[in-house]
Every structure is written in structure tokens, then in C-alpha cells.
Amino acid sequence: MADDIILSTRGLGRDFKGFTAVGEVDLKVKRGTIHALIGPNGAGKTTCFNLLTKFLQPSRGSIVYNGRDITNMKPADVARLGLVRSFQISAVFGHLTVLENVRIALQRKRGDSFDFWRSERVLDQLNGDAMNLIEQVGLANFRNHTAVELSYGRKRALEIATTLALDPEMMLLDEPMAGMGHEDVDRNSDLIRRAAKNRTILMVEHNLSVVASLSDTITVLARGNVLAEGNYETVSKDPRVVEAYIGAGHG
């Protein structure tokens, strides 16, 4: 059973000057699933996510990824292990083309150098792999557009492409549908579903329709602690979850 768990925490918590943002969270993410982390505003989702991706150090508890304790590791070192985060605010180079953005991510996967000094001929060798990723996220017709020209939803798709270029075993998505219209939500939901076919995904997401349609398992946080866990049908009917959302509001 331990082999089925790719990411787990025990007693994970974080305090800020006497305020407990995350209490003592025990979390188990099964390999090859889509796992959602949800909760009302102020539940501690973002803090928990930052702890898991090592952008914050925990005040207590432990984090284990693929059987390895990563509690005290740096974000870049964790990413090299195959645990890669895609940011809530689109993290792409606005004045580079879609192709150039993905190609840079592929260069990063190859090593520490972005190879800016290399000839165009050498860099063009990455174009085949880059175009494959671009086609996967539905941006083939936009390959020569700069990122700044793309709609918000397509920028997020590009961001997922650059994340996939790092060939992660597990992707952590921070509100992947935030700010999107209905068409972009549908398009990127399909993209996430395809990306999950051969990897694990943990996401923080406010759109409960997306959570319901995509997630295998849902962990509900409230006041920095795990309130409930299960599939959508189970947690949506839990009286504690209903009370937490109605009482705290939901954005």
C-alpha cells in the first residue's frame, strides 16, 4: 500500500507570529490520481500548498515524496525529483513565442544552462519535442504568437506545457481555472485530464464543478485542519463541509 502513496504529510503545520495558518495536516495522495485540496476562504489551502512545494518551511511535521523525506529540501531540489509546481499567476515569458517558451523549459530539463550562447541550429533540435507539447495543450495554431498575445486561458495552457516539459511525475496546480471563462475552463479541464493519464496531480481549485468532474479524491480544509476527505459525492454531503462553506463564504 505504501507504494501507492506518492506524497504524504504527517502533522504538517505552519504558524505566523502566533497565528496558526495550518494546524496538523495528515495527507496521503495516491499515485496516478487527481487529488483536489479545497476549502472556504481562509481555510489554509494556499499555505498548505506552499508547504508541500517547499516555498514555505513548516513549523512542524514532515513531508514525504516517493518514500523520501523532503521536509527540509529547497523547491528547486524537490522539482528535480519530479515534483513540479505550476503557479497561480501565469509564469511564462510574455515577449517570447509559445514555441520559445516551451523550448526554454525543455532546455531547463536538460541541465542547468538555458544555452543562450548556443547557435540557433542547436536550439532548433528541440523544436520537435516542443511542438509535440504545444500540440498536446492545443496551441499548435499559436506557436509563433508571443505569450502576451494569448488569452488568459491559453496562457495557462502554455504554462502547463512548460510544466510538462520538465517531465514531472507529479504536478501541483495552483488554482488552474482562476479567472477563466467557461470555454477556457472546459478546454483546460480536458488538458488536465489528459495530463493525468501518466502522472499524479494535486490541485488547489475554487471551481467546485471542476473539482467534481476531475478529482478522484478531495481533501477539505477548514481553519487549517483537515475537515473531510473522500470523493465529491461523499464530501459534498458532509454536514461539516456544508456548514464550513456557508459559514465562511466561498470565493
CATH value at residue 239: 3.40.50.300
Given this model, what pLDDT does residue 183 score? 85
Edge-to-edge strand ranges of the sheet holding 170-174: 83-86, 170-174, 200-204, 34-38, 217-222, 225-230
Quick one: which of 48, 78, 28 has its CA closest to 174?
48
Given this model, what pLDDT does residue 248 score? 52
Given this model, what pLDDT does residue 112 score? 44
Domain count along the chain: 1
Residue 23 has pLDDT above 90, yes or no: yes
Q: Which structural domain, as residue segments, surrounds residue 229? A: 2-82+168-248
Helix (H, G, I), strand (E, B) or coil at 42: coil
Q: To the nearest whole percent, how much of the chain has pLDDT over 70? A: 89
Phi-psi region of 80 (alpha: psi -120 to 50; beta: other; left: phi over 0): alpha
Q: What is the pLDDT of residues 51-74, one digit of tens each?
A: 998 999 999 999 999 999 999 999
**Is residue 12 a part of any domain in this protein?**
yes
Q: How far is residue 136's CA from residue 133's CA, in Å, rounded to a whole number? A: 5
**Is residue 28 a part of any domain in this protein?**
yes
**Is residue 60 a part of any domain in this protein?**
yes
Could you tell me the pLDDT band of residue 250, with boundaries at 50, 70 and 90? very low
**Is residue 180 a part of any domain in this protein?**
yes
Task: Report the run of H or E that residue 134 belongs to, with start and end.
Answer: helix 127-136
Q: What is the pLDDT of residues 99-142, one digit of tens each?
A: 999 998 888 766 544 555 555 666 677 888 999 999 989 999 99
**Is residue 143 a part of any domain in this protein?**
no
Higher-pLDDT residue of 41, 63: 63
**Is residue 91 a part of any domain in this protein?**
no
Residue 251 has pLDDT above 50, yes or no: no
**Is residue 151 a part of any domain in this protein?**
no
Q: What is the pLDDT of residues 182-218, one digit of tens each?
A: 888 898 999 999 889 889 999 999 889 999 999 999 9
Could you tell me the pLDDT band of residue 41, with boundaries at 50, 70 and 90? confident
**Is residue 131 a part of any domain in this protein?**
no
